[in-house]
Amino acid sequence: MKNLKLFVFAVAFFTLNVVSAANLKPMNPTDELRVEITDLIGSNYMNEMSENEYSADVLFTVNSKSELIVLSVNSDNSHLETFLKNKLNFKKVDHKPSKPGEIFLLPVKMIKQI
Q: What is the pLDDT of residues 71-85, one digit of tens each?
A: 999 998 888 899 899
Q: Which H helix or E strand runs over 1?
A: none
Q: What is the pLDDT of residues 50-73, one digit of tens each?
A: 777 889 999 999 988 889 999 999
- Predicted model pTM: 0.72
- pLDDT at 53 (0 to 100): 85
Query: What is the Cα 83 distance to its own chain's centre?
Result: 14
Give 36's pLDDT tier (boundaries 50, 70, 90).
very high
DSSP string, 7-37: HHHHHHHHHHHHHHHHT--PBPPPHHHHHHH
3-state secondary structure (DSSP) of residue 112: coil
Asked whether the beta carbons of 68 and 62 are under 8 A apart, the reply is yes
Asked whether the beta carbons of 104 and 24 are under 8 A apart, the reply is no
CA distances from 34 to 10, 84, 99 (A): 41, 14, 18
